[in-house]
Amino acid sequence: MASIEKRGKYWSVRYVVKDELGNIIGQKRKSGFATKNDAMAAAKDLERATAAGVDVHGDQMTCGEIMEKWFWAKVDTIEKTSLSRYSEDIDTLKTRPVYNTRISALKEGSLKSIISDLVETRHISMQTAKSYTAPLRYALRWAARKGYIARYPFDGDQLPKVQPRPQVIISEEDIADLIAECKKSNPAFLTPLYLALYGGMCREECAGLKWTAVNDKSVTVSEVITATTNNKHLVKQPKTRTRARTITLPQFVMDHLHSLPKVSDYVCVSSWGRPYAVHTLNGALRCIVYRVNNARAAEGKPPMQRPTFHDLRHTHAAMLIAMGIQPKVISERLGHSSIKITMDVYGYLMPGLQEQVADALNDKWAAGQVGK
C-alpha cells in the first residue's frame, strides 16, 4: 500500500516496488505534490503503475525519453497531421541540449531558457520557438498526470508573450494597384488574390481549394492545406465546423475561375503549373507589393503598407463593414465559430454602429413612435 505524508511545503508519497513476479523488493518516495488530494491521486496511479511493472520514477528520465514515451502513448489518439508536426518538433529538439537534459534538472526559468536557445541558434521568431516546445510541455504534463513525475516542472513559468502584429487594411487604391500589377507580372497569383480579397479566404483555404469545390456562383471550403514548422504540407479538414462553409463570390471572380485552365486538381497554381505552397503565398504577395511601391516611388507617390496574405482577409472584412453588411453575415462568411470572435477582431472598425442606433431611435422618437 502507498502512504502519503507532508514534508515541509509539499506532500510526498511512499510506495512499494515489486519485481516481475510481484514480490516486494523495496520502497521509493516521490515528493513535490502541492495538495493532499494530488498526493492521494498520485498514490493510486503509482500503485497501478508499479503493479503493471512500469518504471514510474521518471524524474531521472531525460526530456527526450519522456517526449518519446508520450508520443507513442498518444499515437492512436491524436490526428495524423498533429502527430506529424509533433514528430518534426521532437526531431528539432533532438539537436538542442534540452533533449538530453534530465527532468530532475528542470526548474523555474528552464522553459524560457529553452525557447531563447531556439531563437538564437535557429534564428527563428519567438512564436515559432514556442511552437517547437509544444511536445515537451504536453509530455511533461502527461507524465505528471500519470504519476511518472511528481509535478509539472514548468508550473512557475509563463510562455513569453508575443505581441500580435497589427492588422493592415489596404485601401481601394492599393487594391487596384495590386490587381493591376498582378495581371502584369504574375497573372497566376490573381486567383488566390481574388479569393482572399473578395471571399475572405485564408492562405490554407486558398491552397487547399480543389476544382470539385467550385460551383456556378460559389466555392466550398471543405479541405485545407497547412504546413508544419519545417514547411511540410499536410492536408486536413477545416479546424472547426464553421470553417467548412460555402462562400458566394462576386460574378467577376467566378468568371475568372471558370476561365482558368484545369492543369491540376487544385485551383490556385503558380505560373509553373504547380499548386501554390502555403508558405509561398506571402512571398508572392511581397513581390507584387515591392513592384507597386517601386512604381509609386518613380511617380513620387507614398508607398502602400506591406500586408501579409492574411491581411487580405482582414481587408475583405473591412470592406464588408464599410458596406454596412451585418456582423452576423460577416462572421458566417469568414467562418468564425461565433459572432463574438468577429466583433473582437473587427469591432474597432465599427464605431459608427452605435451612432446609427442612436440616430434611428431619435428618428422614431421624433416621429412619435417611441415613448409616447
At residue 264, does pLDDT exceed 70? yes
3-state secondary structure of 16: strand
pLDDT score of 60: 75
Coil, strand, or helix at residue 303? coil
Residue 357 pLDDT > 80: no
Q: What's the one-letter identity of residue 61? A: M
The pLDDT assigned to 360 comes to: 73
Give the per-residue pLDDT at 230. Answer: 61
Query: What is the Cα–Cα distance from 142 to 124, expressed in whole angstroms?
Result: 27
Residue 329 has pLDDT above 60, yes or no: yes
- For residue 120, give every residue at least 6 positions away whose Cβ sits within 8 Å of its Cβ, in sequence order, or none: none
Counting DSSP H helices and E strands in the chain, the numbers are 15, 7
Banded model confidence at residue 49, pLDDT cuts 50, 70, 90: low
Residue 209 has pLDDT above 80, yes or no: yes
Most confident option among 32-46, 216-230, 261-275 = 261-275
pLDDT at 80 > cutoff 80: no
360: cell is 434611428
Q: What is the pLDDT of residues 308-320, one digit of tens each?
A: 999 999 999 999 9
Q: What is the DSSP string of 240-292?
A: SGGGSEEEE--HHHHHHHHHS---SSBS-B-TTSSBPPHHHHHHHHHHHHHHH
Q: Which residues contact 67 (CB under 8 A, 6 or more apart)?
A: 90, 93, 99, 135, 136, 139
pLDDT value at position 314? 94
Longest Cα separation, the chain: 91
Residue 229 pLDDT: 57
- pLDDT on residue 170: 94
Say what the pTM is: 0.69
Range of lowest pLDDT (163-167, 205-209, 321-325): 163-167
- The residues that bridge with 3 in the sheet, in sequence order, are 14
Mean pLDDT, residues 255-271 taken together = 95
Q: How far apart are CA 63 and CA 327, in angstroms?
A: 47
Cβ atoms 336, 242 nearer than 8 A = yes
**Chain mean pLDDT for the chain:** 86
Is residue 40 within 8 Å of residue 4, measured between CB atoms? yes
pLDDT at 22: 63
Residue 198, all three cell numbers:
473578395
108-123 pLDDT tens trace? 889 999 999 999 999 8
Q: Which residues of 352-369 are buried (b: 16+ CB within 10 A; e: fewer)?
A: eeeeeeeeeeeeeeeeee
Sign of the CA dihedral 60, 63, 68, 71?
positive
User: Each residue of 113-157: pLDDT tens digit?
Assistant: 999 999 999 988 888 899 999 999 999 999 888 777 767 888 878
**Residue found by looking up cell 518504471 in the block:** 55
pLDDT of residue 281: 94
Distance CA 318, CA 302 (A): 22
Collapsed DSSP state (helix, strand, coil) of residue 343: helix
Instruction: Report which of residues 331 and 7 the model is more confident about.
Output: 331
If one compares 75 and 66, the residue with the highest pLDDT of the two is 66
Burial class (CB in 10 A: 0-12, 13-18, 19+), 191: buried
For residues 263-271, give the mean pLDDT: 94
277 close to 207: Cβ distance less than 8 angstroms: yes
The pLDDT of residue 222:
92
Of the candidate ranges 190-194, 325-329, 365-369, the one whose mean pLDDT is the lowest: 365-369
The residue ranking higher by pLDDT, 2 or 225, is 225
* 105 three-state secondary structure: helix
Residue 370 predicted with pLDDT over 60: no
- Average pLDDT, integer, range 356-361: 73
The one-letter amino acid at 72: W
Q: Are 43 and 2 in contact (CB under 8 A)?
A: yes
Higher pLDDT, 264 or 30: 264
pLDDT for the residue 23 = 67
- What does the block give as the cell for 94? 533532438
